[in-house]
Structure 1
């Protein structure tokens, strides 16, 4: 095995002796947040929570001479070395802040690779570590699972990929799934019951879809629309268009183009040639014979048809994005005239993305970790190391603090790691769950023009037992009919239609523009009574086809629209609102799952 550099920092051992006389830090309790610093004395063993475990054994302190070793697997070299260094700095801060006489930290370089992580875990296990904190990346976690499982050593990782969690591997990361469930649940409680989703077309999209569906089901809401985009695309408009009703300007343009096409078709009618017309049921173009009078009536009716934009099919829209891409999506919301009544929702990705720069995002809500603790931690980190920490650095601080708490009990056991009362750290309340996931105490913030306002504060204690979700990730779920069920198929009603001694079965005669099928219903100069214009192709009622038919009654726009005189048919009621001229609806276009 290739030799690995590994360092045991003597200062880690010295700090546990010196911390109490150099700069002792009062550790926070679960009852009050103080400077965002983790509390080993007050936050560990369910002493302040309402949750008690009946089977939890009494924990005894270790003799002072016994030490517990924790290995931190971080990329201390390679392309991710800067991130690894920041997490090491945060871990050292945590150890110096906490007066634990039994914790020894040992740092191992994973080089940011799966092979490096595997080798680092083997070395750490051989040198007596009883708990591993890290690694950072999912492929690294996957690489060490076999080693840690064989050695019966728990892992607290910074990776949140669900496929790597469980069986002794826990994430301390903030989960997107929990944030989505939290903000959907909050909005649902405020009366929003129809949700649309915009997210990335990858595993993240599946996680978001599953979490949103789960939260919506619990509160009696529905997911009505969803759009997923390639994570590296610069063109987000096609995806946004999938969830929006079409713009009046677009519909007007298509109407004008259709009128122009029909005007040009006059030459074809004079030459006895068919005219291409759209079948409203199939959406396909068909060639049909028309008289000049019928074509003129079709054109005039189309000109007089009022264009009305369809209503939005959602009253809240969840966007799980960050940075400039979030703001680009916000700009598209303005382009599509999303009304203020539609609530825009997000996750903690919004926190450092300046959403207030986009007017459409002002007034939006997003779930987030408590701000205060990290701001104070960040200020202390900068004072010590001369630069701001990455957001993930607080997780390293909290993980070491958690290890210090458990070192006092003498055990990194399953029961201790998954204590249902949880712990409090820089980012507030959290607990590790038996399936490897984590649960955080989240707040809800509202976007104002000059910052954020707290709408719902984070909880001080976990008041319920953890809910163990069996699965938060199912590949391809974002395209599953379980996510957004297809619209119900109308019940078919068969009716016998007799025309000139011919019998045909009319299917689906209760909808608009229904077609009669079966027998060849044709005739010369068959009179029809056309209903009011619905599109350039057909009107309401059974779509009886004929050649050279004559219109009578209310405006007949086509020989293919209306009811055959004297023929029993079932007509749909006239719409209360004029129908716009439209092409077939834009396909959801959600593609194929990865």
Structure 2
């Protein structure tokens, strides 16, 4: 029962590791629509960067500093785009974010990049909706997307569509899910169901778990029953390396369920898991998504060369937001920061590959599909480099 001991010990830590997703979540009212302000691209355009500094939390301060550094890097790499970047602290709080957003509007900001958390992003979007200012939030919560709020965060919907779509193309047409018994798990399950339907596969049901030993054991039994009853040929999991994945990697195969007979599919970064998990027999051949490895490596190298340290995992979102703004300003159009410009089909070149904003305020990102072979991470379908090709 080593895995269960590991699971129990990591239960609280797992919540922290998932904290970005959980803290960014929550059903929040969508903002009213906004097309965006006119801009004069021959003059410096004020862009408000909203970061969660001022909260007193050391980790959040480090994240905020990395977001600022990444945004500065994007601006430096686009000298033709005249950007007057100004930083506003939100303290990770919705009320402070609303006040900061209004200050940015009063300072002449034409667009906001950030904030991080969903509640803060929604508040900021509401505060500046009357100014026709769009907000490029770092959140991954699709509930706040829409109106003048666009999200930059990685979504379950985007990941599920990529990996489920690939699995379906390989003949895995019957999809089951194993997800957390919470709001984030519900979003994950809905994403899997939608991805299955979009890719010509059947969604046959879901099993749920909580971060306890008893729930993990019960989830294994429920999952086995679901697969036996439905004949599911693939099992999609939201578990990650810091949470339930090490447990399921041991207990599912012990129950007779492995990626050899039921295709395992991950919705999180399984390449970040331990060598022990990667090498376990039951997960060989599992499928999961990764960013465009060459783009990610290039961004990390440029960031490290500039600042002498590695970027935070979320720093690329600030780079992406500022990169999108700069790319649009380089067009010289007075409508560079409107909704129609932001949602252009060609998208943008980001820290982790190409991405684009969708009309509903969510995003679509290029992802590679990878697997485990003899304990090694192997890319089986590279991330597309542009929109319209394979993988999209």
TM more than 0.5: yes
Q: Could you say which residue in structure 1 is the equivalent of 2:306?
A: 384
Offset from partner CA, 1:33-84 (integer Å, 9 cap, x none): xxxxxxxxxxxxxxxxxxxxxxxxxxx99674x2211000101222221111
Offset from partner CA, 1:393-448 (integer Å, 9 cap, x none): 11111211111112222431111111111111221111111110101122211112
Query: Residues 326 and 218 from structure 1, CA distance in 2 versus in 1: closer, same or farther, beyond 3 angstroms?
Result: same
Q: Could you say which residue in structure 2 is the equivalent of 1:517?
A: none
Query: Residues 75 and 456 from structure 1, CA distance in 2 versus in 1: closer, same or farther, beyond 3 angstroms?
Result: same
What is the alpha-carbon distance in structure 2 between the residues aligned to residue 177 and residue 212 of structure 1?
A: 7
Structure 2 stretches of 5 or more lacking a match?
1-37
Which of these residues, 261, 283, 291, is aligned with residue 341 of structure 1?
A: 261
1:168-567 equivalences under 5 Å are: 168-230=148-210, 232-235=211-214, 236-245=216-225, 313-324=231-242, 325-339=244-258, 340-354=260-274, 355-408=277-330, 409=332, 410=334, 411-463=336-388
What is the alpha-carbon distance in structure 2 between the residues aligned to residue 403 and residue 456 of structure 1?
A: 30
Query: Residues 310 and 190 from structure 1, CA distance in 2 versus in 1: closer, same or farther, beyond 3 angstroms?
Result: closer
Q: Could you say which residue in structure 1 is the equivalent of 2:132?
A: 152
Is contact 1:198-1:240 (8 Å) kept? no
Which of these residues, 78, 83, 96, is aligned with residue 76 of structure 2?
A: 96
1:98 deviates by 1.8
Q: Could you say which residue in structure 2 is the equivalent of 1:551?
A: none
Query: Residues 129 and 218 from structure 1, CA distance in 2 versus in 1: closer, same or farther, beyond 3 angstroms?
Result: closer
Is contact 1:369-1:427 (8 Å) kept? yes
What is the alpha-carbon distance in structure 2 between the residues aligned to residue 220 and residue 91 of structure 1?
A: 40
Q: Which moved more, 1:379-388 or 1:174-183?
A: 379-388
Structure 1 stretches of 5 or more lacking a match?
1-59, 247-308, 468-594
What is the alpha-carbon distance in structure 1 between the residues aligned to residue 39 and residue 106 of structure 2?
A: 26
SS at match of 1:421: coil
Is contact 1:157-1:170 (8 Å) kept? yes
1:311 deviates by 7.5
Query: Residues 160 and 61 from structure 1, CA distance in 2 versus in 1: closer, same or farther, beyond 3 angstroms?
Result: closer
What is the alpha-carbon distance in structure 2 between the residues aligned to residue 459 and residue 225 of structure 1?
A: 30
Q: Which moved more, 1:451-460 or 1:84-93?
A: 451-460
Offset from partner CA, 1:267-289 (integer Å, 9 cap, x none): xxxxxxxxxxxxxxxxxxxxxxx
What is the alpha-carbon distance in structure 1 between the residues aligned to residue 161 and residue 284 of structure 2?
A: 21
1:234 deviates by 4.5
Offset from partner CA, 1:287-306 (integer Å, 9 cap, x none): xxxxxxxxxxxxxxxxxxxx
What is the alpha-carbon distance in structure 2 between the residues aligned to residue 461 and residue 179 of structure 1?
A: 17
Q: Could you say which residue in structure 2 is the equivalent of 1:85?
A: 65
What is the alpha-carbon distance in structure 2 between the residues aligned to residue 193 and residue 150 of structure 1?
A: 47
Query: Residues 163 and 209 from structure 1, CA distance in 2 versus in 1: closer, same or farther, beyond 3 angstroms?
Result: same
What is the alpha-carbon distance in structure 2 between the residues aligned to residue 420 and residue 225 of structure 1?
A: 34
Is contact 1:327-1:358 (8 Å) kept? no
What is the alpha-carbon distance in structure 2 between the residues aligned to residue 234 and residue 134 of structure 1?
A: 38
| Structure index of larger Rg | 1
Is contact 1:225-1:314 (8 Å) kept? no
What is the alpha-carbon distance in structure 2 between the residues aligned to residue 357 and residue 193 of structure 1?
A: 27
Q: How many residues align?
A: 342
Is contact 2:320-2:351 (8 Å) kept? yes
What is the alpha-carbon distance in structure 2 between the residues aligned to residue 358 and residue 391 of structure 1?
A: 26
1:348 deviates by 3.9
Which of these residues, 52, 57, 65, is aligned with residue 75 of structure 1?
A: 52
Is contact 2:178-2:206 (8 Å) kept? yes
Q: What is the root-mean-square deviation of aligned Cα atoms in Å?
A: 2.4
SS at match of 1:196: strand
Q: Which moved more, 1:363-372 or 1:403-412?
A: 403-412
Query: Residues 72 and 234 from structure 1, CA distance in 2 versus in 1: closer, same or farther, beyond 3 angstroms?
Result: farther
Offset from partner CA, 1:92-127 (integer Å, 9 cap, x none): 111222213511100001111112111111111110
Query: Residues 375 and 234 from structure 1, CA distance in 2 versus in 1: closer, same or farther, beyond 3 angstroms?
Result: farther
